Structure formats: structure tokens, C-alpha cells
A and B are shown apart, each in its own frame.
Chain A
Amino acid sequence: MLRARAILSRRAFARGYATSPPPHALIYLEHRAGAIESASLSALTAAGQLGGQVTALVVGGPDEVTAIVDQAKKLKGVTSVLHSSSAQYATPMAETLSPLLEKLLSENSPFTHVVSAHSSAAKSILPRVAAILDVPALSDITSLVHDASSNSTTFTRPIYAGNAIATVKASSSIPIKFFTVRSTAFAAAESEEGANAEVTALDAVDVSDSPSEHVKTSLTQSDRPELGAASRIVSGGRALKNAETFEATLYPLADVLGAAVGASRAAVDAGYADNSLQVGQTGKVVAPELYMALGISGAIQHLAGMKDSKLIVAVNKDPDAPIFQVADVGLVADLFQVVPELTEKLKA
């Protein structure tokens, strides 16, 4: 917070000579079960590409924050860590976290950018804060370039379900540039031996009359890799017929491959798979090493969620299914014959 104070004391001076401030990103680091989310680590890599300082913000319940701060201060690219804990922060909610961010980003703040993963929590919180500060925000960016001399940042982001890529410039007239990062477009930042960023505690901003309260969270339990971070994904569509065959057919193959299980919207809507497994424009965007699309036709909304995968394998009865236009390896066949055979042969 030394910088903030320095700016404060030279405020009049700084106003007189409007040189652009060096980039200083505030990244909202998310964590779950004592570990930093991998999507946040990808966002950190993106923040590092701005070419300036990166301050990590860690918030959570009183018993959570210490362990996360220890991990955060060792991350490559993090120059300082701010943390704040409160019972209110145990479940991140926009109404209770906004006042903290607002205070942190209000007048004389050193921060030029606010960064996070494009996660469900950050998607709820960041735009709320941006609006309070009267600045626009960018969602789901896939690349960025910062020009320090003009204090402008240029981003690319997919629009129309990934069927077009927009290049968008946030100029110096936007004093704080808010953006969320598509995690599959950036490698995850790693821990660095010997790194030890400066750690500062922040007082929680108590919101005594929040208009919303958290009732409960129910997470889908799974032993498989997390869908968003998995290097291999086996995904099923409507052709799987019902929840039982979805499991019986896909899970053994996923186990043999050490893969996460995904689903098309059709499979989710029909109740074969949980909502949290949905891949696509309205679900998760993934880019694994291997994406196996089984009984998925390949609607544009689904392709939006997986077409950046390295190797796409499709099995479908319909030779004209659009999925074959993007698949590296396609097999026109009945998946109920192919998948068990594939599972057996991969086991061998």
C-alpha cells in the first residue's frame, strides 16, 4: 500500500502532469477447498501480460484465507497480496463483496485493471462493481496487449458463440479496465521458488443490511477431474438415451482415459447429465488435449464450448452431423458398439 500513499501525497502534482500510470492489475483470486482455482491461475497469466505490477486479492471466511495467502504469495507474477476475511465472505456474493472492491478501487487507487477468471462468481461480482465505478467491462477475453504510452489496452474476445472474434480497445478514458479471462486461452501461472510477495491485510467492509443472504450451496460430487481443467474429456449427447445408459456407456471410457465427463445441452435438458457438466456457449468452455464427442451432432452452441480442443474425436451414426466438420478423427458408427469396444481395447 506504499504506492497508494505515495500517489496520495503527490495528488495535486499528478493531476497537473497527466502522465499515464504504469499498469497495476488487481486480480480477484478464487479458491475452493483450500486451493486456488486453476481458472484464476490462468487469469493471473493474463494479468501478467499487461507488463506491470499484479496485486492478488484473496477474500474468504476467517479460517480459509491464511492457507490461500500462503499459496498466492509464491505465485509467479504476483507482486503483492491483499487479503480480507469475514464470515460474510465465506460464500462470495456480489452484494457483500462489492463494497470492499469499491473501497479498494475508489479515488487514488493505484489499480489500472481489475482481472478475474470468467467464473460464475466473478461474472456476478465484477460487472456490478464496474457499474458502480461507471466503467465498462470486457467479458471472456482471449488475448490482450497493453500500450503503456497511451494507457490503452486492446483485447480480443469471442462474440456470437465464438463464430466471430472482436478486437476491442479500452482507451485511457477508461481509468480502470475490468475484464474476465477465458481460462483455456492462457496457461496457468505456477508457483515460483523463493517468491514471496508482500502481504497486506485489509479490513472487511461490513455489510449489515445486505439485500441478499446465502441459504445453501449444493455441489455435484465427483471423483473425476474437474471439467474446466481436465486434459481429456469424454462428452455425450442426446443419443445416449437416458441417464443410466449415459453413465454405463461413458463412465467406463472416461475412467480408462482418466477423463472428465461432459455433456451437450440436449443431454442435460433431457436429464441424462447434471447441468454443471454442460459444454457450450451457455455452459463451460473447455480446450482439453482430447475431446471425444459421442452422439453429439455439433450445434454451433456446443462447438462454441469445445472447438479449441487439441484433438477432437467424434463418433456419430449420422455421417452428415456438423461435428464431423471440426473433428480431427471421425467414426461413423453406432456408439453403443464403438464405445465398449474402444474401452476394452484401450484397457489392453
Chain B
Amino acid sequence: MRPSSARLLHILVPVKRAVDYAVKIRVNPQQTGIDLNVKHSMNPFDEIAVEEAVRIRDRLKDKVKSIKVVTIGPTKSQETLRTALAMGADSAIHVEIPDSAPAPEPLGVAKAIQAVLARQKEKGEAVDIVILGKQAIDDDAGQTGQMLAGLMGWAQATFASKVDIDVEAKTANVTREIDGGLEELKCKFPLIVTTDLRLNEPRYASLPNIMKAKKKPIEKLSASDLGVDLTPRLETLKVEEPPKRVGGGKVESVDELIAKLAEAGITGVKA
């Protein structure tokens, strides 16, 4: 297993290039997907993941040996890696897929990351913590982190709003957002964390850091280099616009508002 001497942490952060969160998306006329000719940026939850990795290093200083980011996607995903590098990651891996290839599913992505983890271990840089976003805002699946934890048999701390690392004990105390409140876990390394919005506020990359990021290394791999098959196993039959909601117009006063409520059968509850 791991050498027991004080070893240094390796952190891996998988990121995804997604349609920017502020874009009003449009379904394409063929109903095969959405119009992707729009602004893209790093999935917001992944920005939080990168930020958390960088903050862990800010706190633990040189106990963090490396922060590596990885993405699986078409050529343009490289921009997303550069953003992560500008935020403070050291190096990147780009698992490139053809622009025409369908988007891989969470299970495929998890297997690719599993292969990356095996590769890092072979190099003697075994990863201790993988930090992922809790979901991507395009497919809204919210599965990749848990699937990776399952494949690796590692501890998982999903929807994290606070991560406290104890390097010596090789554990992390993680506060999670659950339905109805919060939960705290104590997890042993190696560990998978998925980020909730509350975890932190990602920094903006400064211009000098953006310039520096251009010199940081990006290793290019393909799915076959990793020995994984990224073909989707679920078949998307079609993508449609949701039913349109028609605004019912405005009222002028509270009395009119109450009348509208009464029309819908809504009155005050007698206490």
C-alpha cells in the first residue's frame, strides 16, 4: 500500500467544458440536441473543485505535491484546462475525443478517470484526493464522482460544503449538504469529493496567471491510450423544448391578487 512516511498529497480535478450557465439554450430543429454554437465555459461546480484544490494547497503549502486537472472532450476542451491552470493547477491531461463523437456518459468518464488514476499510480504519483463538481449543468446527471468512487472502492463525500484535511492522519472531515440540513463525515484517503455551490467562491484568473498558464504542460491522450470505450450505452431518441408556460399577465393591486388566488381556490388557512 502507501508508504507510511510523511508523503505528499497529489490532487486530481476532473473538469468539463459545458455551455455557459447564463446562456439561454435552444433545441436544434432536428431535435437531436441543442445548438452548441454558443458561449462555453468551465462547468461552475468544476470551478469550485479547482478552487478547492488550490485552497487546500494555500492552507497546506508544500504538503500538496501536485494539482492535476483532467478533461475528456473535443479539441476546444483545452481552453477549459487552460482556465484551470490559470486558477492554479500545475499540469493537465486532455483525453481528446473527436468533435463529432457523442458526449461520453458519466460511467465512461468515470472509467477514463479510473485509467488516469492507474497511470498516475504507475508513475509513482498516486492520487490521494479527486475533487469533482457534484453535477455538470448540461446533462444534470450528478453521477460521475459516485461512479468513480464505486469503481475504485474509495471513500466518497458528495455535495461537500466544507473540506478539512488532516495530512498526517490521511483523513478528511467533510461537511455535506443533505436534504433537510448538513451531515459531517470522516473519510480516509484516498478519497473522492464532489463539490456543492457553498464550498467556496472561485477566484478569477489574473492576466499574469493566464499568461503563465500557457506554459504549463498539457498531456494529450486518447480513449484508446487509456483502454476505455466512451461510446454511450443509453440512446438519446430526441431532445425537445419543454412545454412553454404562458405568463398570465399582471394585476394592479393586492385585492386583485387575492381575487385571483380565490379563483384558484386558495384562501388563508384559519388558524
Contact = CB atoms under 8 A, between A and B. Distances in A.
Contact of A215 (B173, B198, B238): B173
B240 interface: yes
Question: Top 10 closest A-B pairs, CB basis?
Answer: A211-B155, A131-B147, A328-B248, A346-B268, A128-B150, A131-B150, A219-B181, A127-B146, A127-B143, A258-B269
Contacts, number: 256
A273 to B, nearest CB: 13
A212 B146 CA distance: 14
Contact of B159 (A120, A168, A169): A120
Interface of A: 32, 91, 93-95, 98, 119-121, 123-132, 134-140, 154, 157-171, 173-174, 210-220, 226, 228, 232, 255-258, 265, 269, 275-276, 281-282, 284, 289-290, 300-301, 307, 310-313, 319, 324-332, 338, 341-342, 345-348
Interface of B: 19, 21, 24-25, 27, 34, 105-107, 110, 135, 137-144, 146-151, 154-159, 161, 173, 176-188, 191, 196-198, 232-242, 245, 247-258, 260-261, 264, 266-269, 271
A213 B266 contact: no
A170 B105 CA distance: 13
Contacts of B239: 159, 164-167
B266 A329 contact: no
Is chain B's binding surface mostly helix, strand, loop or mixed? mixed
Nearest to A98: B150
B198 to A, nearest CB: 6
A219 B154 CA distance: 27
A226 B180 CA distance: 9
Nearest to A39: B179
Q: Which of B154, B173, B179, B260 has the most CB of A within 10 A?
A: B179
Contacts of B138: 159-160
Contacts of A121: 178-179
Given A139-B140, A160-B25, A327-B247, A94 B264 contact: no
Nearest to A340: B254
A213 B235 CA distance: 38
B268 A160 contact: no
Contact of A257 (B146, B154, B251, B266): B266
Given A168-B235, A338-B254, 15 more contacts: A120-B159, A127-B142, A127-B146, A136-B233, A137-B141, A162-B242, A164-B25, A165-B240, A257-B269, A276-B179, A282-B197, A289-B264, A307-B245, A330-B250, A346-B261
Nearest to B152: A131
Given A131-B107, A138-B234, A165-B242, A160 B156 contact: no
Contact of A136 (B176, B197, B234, B245): B234
B170 to A, nearest CB: 11
Nearest to A315: B257
Contact of A216 (B179, B183, B254, B269): B183
14 contacts: A91-B183, A94-B158, A120-B177, A127-B106, A131-B147, A136-B233, A160-B140, A164-B34, A167-B240, A169-B234, A213-B186, A257-B269, A282-B196, A345-B258
B187 A332 contact: no
B258 A212 contact: no
Q: Which of A93, A127, A290, A326 has the most CB of B within 10 A?
A: A127
